[in-house]
Structure 1
């Protein structure tokens, strides 16, 4: 049986009434006056009862918790395995609860105002191996118009590192196949001009020969659905996932995976972070720097596999 919703950890000390009752009144305030959802109320209750149990163990009151004591609690949450995002949520619950206690004149200040959660570990984006991508983007044997369209979309995603919203928004006039260029509108309505590779140009040219049989008259979108209108972001996501399954991909394919792969492979070959930033349309280079970590992971893997003294061999003599 799972833990009861809204309760503290199963090994926690139950808080006494002087700690539990203000939490109950606060949850009632959230539900009745603030119209918060039952799920939100349960999350607040769970977080606050966990802190109340911590205070009970130390024989502290709500008024007795200061910023120093709260930092100690944050450190304890981290030792218990909570990540930065979860701790930030706990602090948000505590901060709002103490705002309520101050208004109710139960405490004089809010100890959570100056306390920050540890930074959440940044998840590295996934990447598809170059050889695997080459296999995945090989043209299928059938010449069904939707299959031809899909390959053109996915070639363009990988060739130019587009966001899926940018791909869905591409119009016929945005691409110059002769010059090998595409103009896209990114975040903040910022335009950028990007190169289009040979394979993508070939796939797009094949698709354009078939597009007229599907597109409604006057439709400006480059990629259209069976009904003749612009293909939606969701449809592109579903078609790529389906393509990956059909082609025997080792992992689930999604548009951002091709964008990540574009950036990582380009950085791996060129080492030019600024150029990759411009191509991706990142306003801040710190956003692009995540790919340097990916590049280092690749280098470290090659080193471990290749260097004669890199690999650690297991010790056969436990006494040695």
Structure 2
């Protein structure tokens, strides 16, 4: 790996507070581009233009992500005086649309919880841990990384909140439901020793393992495992709160979104309520009712 790339990644960590997963993603994209065209720091516009063909089999969103990483890298080189020109204009600019989140219905959520609660009645450590994980994913809307990396100190003794460190090292307070608090109490009474809330072999439970235990639970609950993931449960948290009348700004805070435009994607699921609201509250609708 060329030194300019290492310096760029170090800048992401130090100045932008980028998370380890974000830095790893940038590294993969930059390494892949360098494998394709050689030294990125010295690459020409023609070399960058050739990446369009190399990426032709990728989805537009993947191409856009890779091109964005390269554009930021060349912006860094300019700022540091390591290049006098920016060749990134030659990179492809695919038209992408933000995909709508996969939605889990209320019935599936209830079925999933019923299965987890039945299994937790055994008081087996793995079953109680799984119920606690499920409660925090759906009840508090945590990201997978935020959840598995929670230190034990994030759980307060009295206040019904968790202190969560999200993307970019930003901290936020996340409310814990009464149900989740009960599950947490059960788990804290039997959890192994360790710095993390969900310890595992000297560290914490991995994101991959979290993904696996959720899909295994879905299979036991007779739900298609492909429908279930930590992120789908986070989407369900947001969607169902919005259906219940939650304010979009409040939802933005709970999810830890830096930009409310990211949160607004959830508004599409509440279209039926919005149509009813217009029919009931719009002045012309009220006038038609009087007529």
Q: TM-score, normalised to structure 2's length?
A: 0.61
SS at match of 1:124: coil
> 2: distance between equivalents of 1:220 and 1:86?
36
- Deviation, 1:35, is 7.5
Q: Deviations over 1:3-26 (max 9, x none)?
A: xxxxxxxxxxxxxxxxxxxxxxxx
2:113 alignment counterpart: 137
SS at match of 1:137: helix
Structure number having the greater helix percentage: 2
2:172 alignment counterpart: 192
> 1: distance between equivalents of 2:230 and 2:132?
13
Q: Based on CA coordinates, which of the two structures has the bigger radius of gyration?
A: 1
Q: Does 1:274 align with 2:249?
A: yes
Q: Number of matched residues?
A: 209
Query: Bigger relative contact order, structure 1 or 2, given CA contacts below 8 A and separation 6+?
Result: 2
Structure 2 matches for 1:132-171, cutoff 5 A?
132-138=108-114, 139-141=117-119, 142-171=122-151
Cα RMSD (Å) of the superposition? Answer: 3.6
- Deviation, 1:126, is 1.1
Q: Deviations over 1:128-148 (max 9, x none)?
A: 112321221131243211111
* Contact 1:170 1:184 survives alignment (8 Å): yes
Q: Aligned to 1:44, which of 39, 50, 53?
A: 53
* Contact 2:51 2:91 survives alignment (8 Å): no
> 2: distance between equivalents of 1:201 and 1:120?
40
Question: Structure 2 unaligned runs (5+)?
Answer: 1-33, 41-49, 69-87, 276-291
Moved more, 133-142 or 149-158: 133-142
SS at match of 1:176: coil
- Deviation, 1:279, is 0.4
Question: Structure 1 unaligned runs (5+)?
Answer: 1-29, 48-81, 93-111, 301-320
- Deviation, 1:237, is 1.4
* Contact 1:161 1:258 survives alignment (8 Å): yes
> 2: distance between equivalents of 1:121 and 1:32?
27
